[in-house]
């Protein structure tokens, strides 16, 4: 069985700036520069105004919830691929796919960035499925919460990058 989810991540920057940051290689390189167990592969297969970001990372053992540690078969690793399309008017769409090693998890869905009165936001809509007998349903909300925390961390990174860029 899978679990559906949706949430938004608000930004204090205009949608044009958010989109420009999301499709800029330097943003992602700086985001992962100090992540010792992470890799990032960037490409623009759909041309200008787009990006494909493939990220992998090993979860630190002390950050893995006890429930998850009980069912891990090996190290917990994450693989995430985001694809962003061009900004059309004040909207840009994207997709994401996440899988894990150590536990059989699949997450996928869509992004939409748009303007708000305060700046912009990313709407995230997706599904998550953890294929572990008995406890898979209990782990699915944890996977959703993790994605939400990661995207909030990316918000800080992107807003900091934009702020530094405007003062340079």
**Residue 70 tokens, joined:** 């009980």
Q: Along the 168 residues of the chain, how does pLDDT read in single tens digits?
A: 688 999 999 999 999 999 999 999 999 998 888 888 899 999 999 999 999 999 999 877 777 777 777 777 778 889 999 999 999 999 999 999 999 888 888 999 999 999 999 999 999 999 999 887 667 777 788 888 888 888 998 999 999 999 888 776
CATH T-level topology, domain 3-167:
Alpha-D-Glucose-1,6-Bisphosphate; Chain A, domain 4 (3.30.530)
Whole-angstrom distance, CA of residue 122 vs CA of residue 97: 16
Collapsing DSSP to helix, strand or coil, 111 comes out as: strand
> Among residues 143, 122, 144, which one has the least CA distance to residue 76?
143
pLDDT attached to residue 65: 72
| Alpha-carbon distances, residue 34 vs 76, 78, 102, 168 (angstroms) | 19, 17, 24, 22
φ/ψ bin of 134: left (φ > 0), alpha (ψ from -120 to 50), beta (otherwise): left
In the chain, what are the domain boundaries? Answer: 3-167
């Amino acid at each position: 069985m899978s679990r559906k989810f949706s949430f938004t991540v608000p930004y204090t920057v205009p949608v044009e700036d958010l989109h420009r940051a999301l499709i800029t290689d330097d943003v992602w390189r700086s985001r992962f520069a100090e992540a010792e167990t992470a890799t990032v592969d960037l490409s623009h297969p759909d041309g200008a105004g787009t990006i494909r970001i493939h990220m992998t990372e090993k979860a630190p053992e002390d950050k893995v919830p006890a429930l998850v540690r009980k069912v891990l078969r090996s190290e917990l690793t994450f693989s995430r691929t985001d694809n962003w399309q061009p900004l059309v008017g004040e909207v840009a769409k994207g997709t994401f796919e996440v899988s894990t090693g150590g536990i059989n998890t699949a997450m996928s869905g869509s992004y939409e960035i748009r303007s708000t009165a305060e700046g912009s936001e990313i709407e995230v809509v997706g599904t998550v499925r953890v294929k572990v007998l008995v406890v898979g349903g209990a782990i699915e909300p944890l996977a959703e919460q993790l994605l939400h925390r990661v995207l909030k961390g990316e918000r800080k990174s992107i807003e900091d990058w934009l702020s530094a860029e405007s003062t340079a």
